[in-house]
Chain A
Amino acid sequence: DAGVTQSPTHLIKTRGQQVTLRCSPKSGHDTVSWYQQALGQGPQFIFQYYEEEERQRGNFPDRFSGHQFPNYSSELNVNALLLGDSALYLCASRSAVSTDTQYFGPGTRLTVL
């Protein structure tokens, strides 16, 4: 049973560019959340997708957008990259009908130069 997978592992972009990160949830999970972990901080909630819609959003600008596909996989898009967007981006999945916790992927390390 594959856990949560993310791609790519690492990514280097320059300021102003756009980036797309991808996540496949754990088998049986239908809800995907995205988190940003900047250096020295805990993961910060970006948003959560369920039934292909954004269900809840954290305190992030509109430059951060997402999408969920019918197979429950998800993308995180960041436009007009800033140096401060450099971070580890984590994807987590869970089942909407379960009281179980969220399961995390290994993350995508984004560096903005």
Chain B
Amino acid sequence: ILNVEQSPQSLHVQEGDSTNFTCSFPSSNFYALHWYRWETAKSPEALFVMTLNGDEKKKGRISATLNTKEGYSYLYIKGSQPEDSATYLCAFASDTGNQFYFGTGTSLTVIP
């Protein structure tokens, strides 16, 4: 069983603060790293697919980086807003990329 770890488990920030979370994954047999945002009672929403070492992706105020050699990815949120409150999940895909291994997520609460 592959181990994917996310930290911190939960986070409370003030509106306007910038924040970041970490996803750690095995550095061998890497295929892709996926980030999702999951709001309560909704479907997980795909944020990024990252495949190359050194990848940096950006979507509005959210960005992510990838280091496959050391096995970690960072997700950054600039100027957090209350609507950013959600659980952020990362998923590691190895070999063919068919099977995703998820972390337990980081729960973000942005306080107005």
Query: Is A61 in contact with chain B by the CB < 8 A criterion?
Result: no
**B residues bordering A, Cβ < 8 Å?**
1, 4, 34, 36, 41-44, 46, 49, 51, 89, 91, 96, 98-105
Kindly identify which residue among B4, B43, B96 contacts A42, using a CB–CB cutoff of 8 Å.
B4
Kindly identify which residue among B1, B44, B89, B105 contacts A59, using a CB–CB cutoff of 8 Å.
B1
**Number of residue pairs spanning A and B whose beta carbons lie under 8 angstroms apart:** 54
Q: A42-B4, A58-B99 are in contact. Are A103 and B105 (CB under 8 A)?
A: no
**A residues bordering B, Cβ < 8 Å?**
3-4, 31, 33, 35, 40-45, 48, 55-56, 58-59, 90, 92, 99-107
Contact A41 B104 (CB under 8 A): yes
Q: Is the interface of B mostly helix, strand, loop or mixed?
A: loop
Q: A45-B100, A48-B99 are in contact. Are A105 and B46 (CB under 8 A)?
A: no
Contact A4 B43 (CB under 8 A): yes
